[in-house]
Amino acid sequence: MDNSNSFENIFKKLGDLKDFFVYGQKLIPILHKILDFMHDTVPLLENVNRSIQDSTSKIPKAAMQINSITNANEIATTEILDIVDGMSMDIANMQTKLESLKNKLGEDEELNAVISTIEKINAGMLNITISLQVQDITSQQLSSVNHLIQSIQEKLAALLIEFKDKEISELPAAEYHFPKDSTFNADARYDKSNSSQKLADSLVEETLNKATQSEIDKLFKKL
Amino acid sequence: MKKVILVADDSPTIRKFVSVALSLKGYEIVVCADGMEAIEILPIKKVDLVITDLNMPNVDGYELISSIRKNNEYSDIPIIVLSSLGNTEDIQRGLECGANSYLVKPFDPKRVIYEVSKYLN
């Protein structure tokens, strides 16, 4: 009785073993596919890694270029403003002299024409100063782009560290230090429509009126 | 005696714009790059009016305005905000901090002169 039980167990085990081999045979093509996939994926991952490394090392150069554009624009704008400043002072002197000349000579058509032309030049100079403010708006937007670039670099660097145990500082050309204390308004717009100023004016008026009312109330309480 | 205007802005070009516009009108202009510098200048230089940006490093414009308003020695100084922030929340916050006027960039130099003369003349 015991012997027949033992045989039954052995046959059961052999059956399980057979099932295992059958299952193994079915598994072999799948394992082949996994190996093929890994074979294809590893070079792809290496490629991705190289691309990230390449992009990460190029980012500082892009940031530096943006920064140098901002600096060059700033220098040029300041130079133009210096010239405008000098010309404005000359024009103011000319206007004073022409006015005194007008007082001496009385009404003169040609003199009036010169005065009117100078006024037009003065108005033009004023417009130049308004238009030159585009530099400030542009520099704020470029700062915002640089900030974005910095975030991308940080993300890529984190990925790179996961791929390989490599620090971003070990990469060649990754020497650009992003300014930590730069401030910018990413929404800065060169908008001469005056709509924002109108909004500001209405809010100033509203707030000041409120203040005046509270002052009146305080005054009445005192009385 | 020339009236002294303190201009706080981290943009060198904006500092230059304001200086060019106002120095022609006979004001003495003192410039600084952030709110911290402005706070350091105020006790050592008598200032009649402050023009400030809002987005600045170290101490921003809001903090500068609040700090001026809290200090009894200069709490009455008129403050004009000159900023590219032109939405309702930013304007209201500037005014709540204690600004007297709010100008949005790009600004018209004539408007700056007008606002300054409103408080100083």
A185 interfacial to chain B (CB closer than 8 Å): yes
pLDDT at A39: 84
Write the pLDDT tens digit of every residue in A57-108: 788 888 888 888 888 988 999 899 889 888 988 998 999 999 999 888 888 8
A188 interfacial to chain B (CB closer than 8 Å): yes
SS (H, E, C) chain B: CCCEEEEECCCHHHHHHHHHHHHCCCCEEEEECCHHHHHHHCCCCCCCEEEECCCCCCCCHHHHHHHHHHCCCCCCCCEEEEECCCCHHHHHHHHHHCCCEEEECCCCHHHHHHHHHHHHC
**Contact yes or no for B11 and A196 at CB 8 A:** no
**Distance between CA atoms of A50 and A131, rounded to whole angstroms?**
45
- Nearest CB among A85, A139, A188 relative to B20 is that of A85
Given strand B49-52, what is the order of strands in its sheet? B28-32, B4-8, B49-52, B79-83, B101-104
- Nearest CB among A131, A136, A200 relative to B104 is that of A200
A197 interfacial to chain B (CB closer than 8 Å): yes
pLDDT at A139: 87
Letter for the amino acid at A156?
L
**Contact yes or no for A134 and B104 at CB 8 A:** no
Q: Spell out the domain ranges in chain A.
A: 2-192, 193-223
Q: Which residues of A touch B105 (CB under 8 A)?
A: 133, 136-137, 188
pLDDT at A45: 82
Check: CB of residue A168 under 8 Å from CB of residue A160.
yes
ipTM of the complex: 0.82
Predicted TM-score (pTM) of the model is 0.72
pLDDT at A173: 46
Q: Which residues of B touch A185 (CB under 8 A)?
A: 55, 83-85
- Nearest CB among A81, A137, A203 relative to B20 is that of A81
pLDDT at B67: 96
pLDDT at B39: 96
Identify from A85, A183, A193 which residue to disrupt to test chain B contact, counting B C-beta atoms within 10 A and taking the largest count: A183
Decide: residue B56, CB within 10 A, 0-12 exposed, 13-18 middle, 19+ buried. Answer: buried
Q: Supply the DSSP string of A3-41, one letter for each residue.
A: HHHHHHHHHHHHHHHHHHHHHHHHHHHHHHHHHHHHHHH
**Distance between CA atoms of B97 and B60, rounded to whole angstroms?**
12
The residues, any chain, with a CB within 8 Å of residue B120's CB and separated by 6 or more, are B3, B5, B27, B48, B49, B78
A184 interfacial to chain B (CB closer than 8 Å): yes
Mean pLDDT, chain B, rounded, equals: 93
**Contact yes or no for A88 and B95 at CB 8 A:** no
A178 interfacial to chain B (CB closer than 8 Å): no
Name the percent of chain B lying above pLDDT 70: 100
- Across-strand partners of B82? B103
Count CB pairs under 8 A between chains A and B. Answer: 108
- Would you write out chain A's pLDDT as a tens digit for each of its 223 residues? 567 788 888 888 888 888 888 888 888 888 888 888 888 888 888 888 888 878 777 888 888 888 888 889 889 998 998 898 889 889 989 999 999 998 888 888 888 999 999 999 988 888 888 888 888 888 888 888 888 888 887 887 777 777 665 555 555 545 556 566 667 777 777 777 788 889 999 998 888 766 555 555 665 565 4
Write the pLDDT tens digit of every residue in B72-104: 998 999 999 999 998 999 999 999 999 999 999
**Distance between CA atoms of A67 and A6, rounded to whole angstroms?**
84
Check: CB of residue B10 under 8 Å from CB of residue B33.
yes
**Contact yes or no for A190 and B106 at CB 8 A:** yes
pLDDT at A179: 61
A75 interfacial to chain B (CB closer than 8 Å): no
Of B42, B29, B25, B1, the closest CA to residue B117 belongs to B25
B67 or A169, which is more confident?
B67
**Contact yes or no for B88 and A199 at CB 8 A:** yes
